[in-house]
Amino acid sequence: MSKNTAMQSDLENLIKYLSKLPGLGNRSAKRLALHLLKNKTSLMLPLAESIYRTAENIKKCTECGNYDTAEICNICSDAKRDNSIICVVEDVADLWAMDRSGMYRGKYHVLGGTLSAMDGVGPEDLNIPKLLQRTKNEEVKEIILATNATVQGQTTAFYINDKLKDLGKNITRLAHGIPIGGELDFLDEGTLNTAMQARKAV
Amino acid sequence: MSKNTAMQSDLENLIKYLSKLPGLGNRSAKRLALHLLKNKTSLMLPLAESIYRTAENIKKCTECGNYDTAEICNICSDAKRDNSIICVVEDVADLWAMDRSGMYRGKYHVLGGTLSAMDGVGPEDLNIPKLLQRTKNEEVKEIILATNATVQGQTTAFYINDKLKDLGKNITRLAHGIPIGGELDFLDEGTLNTAMQARKAV
């Protein structure tokens, strides 16, 4: 792109940064940059301001790894939530998804990823030591391993289960099976097998 | 989303702005926001800085509508470029694409969109009055109508041709046909028809 004399370096830089965002290539980054320039006051400046403000104000909760403006996030400090259950998730997006359902009123623990030998991610790179520390608290009775149903997610759940199993706590995981609204014809064999094996009496 | 107590308002705002970008929905906006927070110093702050700098420094060239740091862009002020040809494009992205090919060394004119009765875009909403003014210059011998080969692009080209035809200049348009590397089997009938009608002796 450096040979393209028609493009100024500020704009080239912006496109470079935009193309580093997940799911965006060079072409979509160009489109975004032009869209921003076309909507300078309504979108471009407010977006930059919003990125700055978020970068400044939002930090990781030292207890669970959720993002919040406070040291201890509003979930961890919520007295109305059940302290005896910790739901372990991979990412903050998973925490949001669980909390959106409104069914779960316990606490969370965000790992910040999954174990991966290929990417060189070990237990010390994730928020696992803090989880082990939290689960030693007498108040905690149950740990729900709600990592994704992927190979990496299951491996990570397996590892954590191994570390926690001698503490004498209830360790559970989310049920696997047919998603509500799911049509059998569109589901993969792994899901169908799991659902068949875990079938229940009506 | 306002009911989601797990998400702070700064973060909610950032996601709102990100989801206004073309091609991004609420889910991808969340993913982007979390990716930014994970890469605060390497991506989040530089991106905000880059958006600010671009918004401040980049303006529309008063002559052709290209984006540049100067009032008159580096293409319009380039003495080595041919002043006798103006290539009319819809958007700055099209200008970049044409210039990347390196074949064309004339000037450009960026319309900033296409005529659209449905979206209420008339000639005065586009950079058309300035084009009419530029083409009256004696130096200009040829105007290439390089709008997209879409209904809107062709309508816009037709309108401009109508306005310019009495000036006694050469008005041309890009050739339509099989793209280089294109396989007939994958091309639509419109392209094949056009290519057949415009066939040439070998």
Of B35, B75, B100, the CB nearest to A22: B35
- Judged by CB atoms closer than 8 Å, whether chains meet at B6 and A34 is answered as no
- Judged by CB atoms closer than 8 Å, whether chains meet at B17 and A74 is answered as no
Neighbouring C-alpha atoms within 13 Å toward the C-beta of A6: 22
Q: What is the pLDDT of residue A2?
A: 40
Q: What is the pLDDT of residue A191?
A: 87
Average pLDDT over residues A165-184: 90
d(CA A104, CA A181): 21
Q: Give per-residue pLDDT as tens, A98-126.
A: 988 888 999 999 999 999 989 999 999 99
Question: Which residue in A76, A100, A91, A63 sits closest to A156, CA to CA?
Answer: A91
d(CA B6, CA B34): 14
- The amino acid present at A41, given as its one-letter code, is T
Rg (alpha carbons) of chain B, rounded to whole number: 22
Q: What is the pLDDT of residue B1?
A: 39
Say yes or no to pLDDT of B118 above 50: yes
Say yes or no to pLDDT of B2 above 80: no
- Report the SS3 class of residue B194: helix
Mean of per-residue pLDDT scores for chain A: 91
**What residue has token string 């040809």?**
B85
- Stated as kind and residue range, the H or E segment containing B66 is none
What is the share, in percent, of chain A residues with pLDDT greater than 90? 74
Query: Mind giving me the DSSP string for B6-53?
Result: TS-HHHHHHHHHHTTSTT--HHHHHHHHHHHHHTIIIIIHHHHHHHHH
d(CA A132, CA A145): 13
Q: Give per-residue pLDDT as tens, A125-135.
A: 999 999 999 99
Residue A63 CB contacts under 8 Å (≥ 6 apart), including other chains: A72, A73, A76, A130, A134
- The amino acid present at B193, given as its one-letter code, is N
Lowest-confidence pick of A46-55, A135-144, A145-154, B190-199: B190-199
The answer for B 8-37 residues in CB contact with A (under 8 A) is: 8, 10-11, 13-14, 17-18, 20-23, 28, 30-37
- Judged by CB atoms closer than 8 Å, whether chains meet at A10 and B43 is answered as no
Average pLDDT over residues A48-58: 95
Neighbouring C-alpha atoms within 13 Å toward the C-beta of B85: 13
Say yes or no to pLDDT of A10 above 70: yes
Of A6, A13, A32, the CB nearest to B50: A13
d(CA B144, CA B56): 32
Average pLDDT over residues B16-33: 93
The answer for A 34-73 residues in CB contact with B (under 8 A) is: 34-37, 40, 43-48, 50-55, 57-58, 66-69
Residue B12 CB contacts under 8 Å (≥ 6 apart), including other chains: B1, B2, B4
Give the pair of three-digit tokens for residue B93. Answer: 């992205």
Which residues of A are less than 8 Å from B95 in CB distance? 6
Q: Give per-residue pLDDT as tens, B70-107.
A: 999 999 999 999 999 999 999 999 999 898 888 899 99
A86 shares contact with chain B (CB less than 8 Å): no
